[in-house]
A and B are shown apart, each in its own frame.
Chain A
C-alpha cells in the first residue's frame, strides 16, 4: 500500500473505480454470454478474469479508503500540532516576560534597600559592632551545601 503514497488521489480513485466497474461488467456479461452461441465458449475465462479484476478493485478500494482516512487523520493531527506549537511559543513569550518583569522589580527593590542601608548606616553602625563570630556563622550558613549526593543516572534509569 506504500505505492499509494506515490500516486495522486484522483488517479488512485479513477483506477479503483475502473477496476470495479470493469470487473462487475465482466461478471454480468459472463452471465448473459452463455445464451449467445459460439461466444459462450469464452464464458469461463471471462468470468474468472472479471472476478479477479472486480476483487482487485474492491481490495484497492479498501486500501484507498483506509489511506484516505489516515491522510485525513494525519492532516488533522498536523493541524493540531501546529496550533499547539504556536500556543507553546506564546506560553514561552509570556513566561519570559513575567520572569523579566518580576526580576526587574526584585533588582529595583534590592537597589532601594541598599540605598536605605547607606542612608542609615551611620545610625546603625554607631551603636552596634558586629563580632567576628557572627560573621563566621553567617558565612557558614551561606556556604552550607546539601550533604546527600545523588549518583549519576545509570543507563537503565534513563529509559
Chain B
C-alpha cells in the first residue's frame, strides 16, 4: 500500500504546449511614404516671390514629414501598449 501511495505521488501527466500565433500589426500605408527631396530654386531666378514660393513649398514638405515622424512615434507607442497588454 505504501508503494502504491509513493507511485501515485510520482505519477504526473505530461504537459503539452500550444503556440498562440500573433501577427505583427501593419503600419498604415500613409506612414510608409518617403519624405520627398527639397525643391530647388530654378537657376537664374531673380524674383524674390519665386524664391519665397519654393521656400514655402519646402516648409510644407517639412511639415508633412514632421507629421509622419510624430505619428510613427505615436503608432509605435500605442501598438507597444496594445502588445504588452497581452500576458
A residues near B, CB below 8 A? Answer: 1-2, 4-5, 27, 51, 54-55, 58-67, 70-71, 74, 77-78, 80-81, 84-85, 87-89, 91-92, 95-96, 98-100, 102-103, 106-107, 109-110, 113-114, 117-118, 120-121, 124-125, 128-130, 132, 134-135, 138-139, 142-143
Interface size class, chain B: 35 or more
> Majority SS of interface residues in chain A?
helix
Which residues does chain A contribute within 8 Å of B79, judged by CB atoms? 88, 91
Of residues 1 through 45 on chain B, the ones whose CB sits less than 8 Å from some CB of chain A are: 4, 7-8, 11-18, 20-23, 25-28, 30-31, 37-41, 43-45
Tell me, rounded to whole Å, the shortest Cβ–Cβ distance linking B20 to chain A. Answer: 5
Tell me, rounded to whole Å, the shortest Cβ–Cβ distance linking B17 to chain A. Answer: 7
A67 near B82 with CB under 8 A, answer no
A124 with B71, Cβ < 8 A, contacts A81-B22, A81-B86, A139-B40 known: no
A to B CB contacts below 8 Å, 23 in the list: A1-B16, A5-B16, A54-B4, A55-B7, A58-B11, A60-B13, A63-B13, A70-B16, A74-B20, A84-B82, A99-B28, A110-B59, A110-B60, A121-B49, A124-B49, A125-B49, A129-B48, A132-B43, A132-B44, A135-B45, A142-B39, A142-B40, A143-B38
A80 to B87, CA, bound (A): 8
A142 to B61, CA, bound (A): 12
7 closest A-B pairs by CB = A63-B13, A62-B13, A121-B49, A110-B60, A142-B38, A96-B28, A88-B25
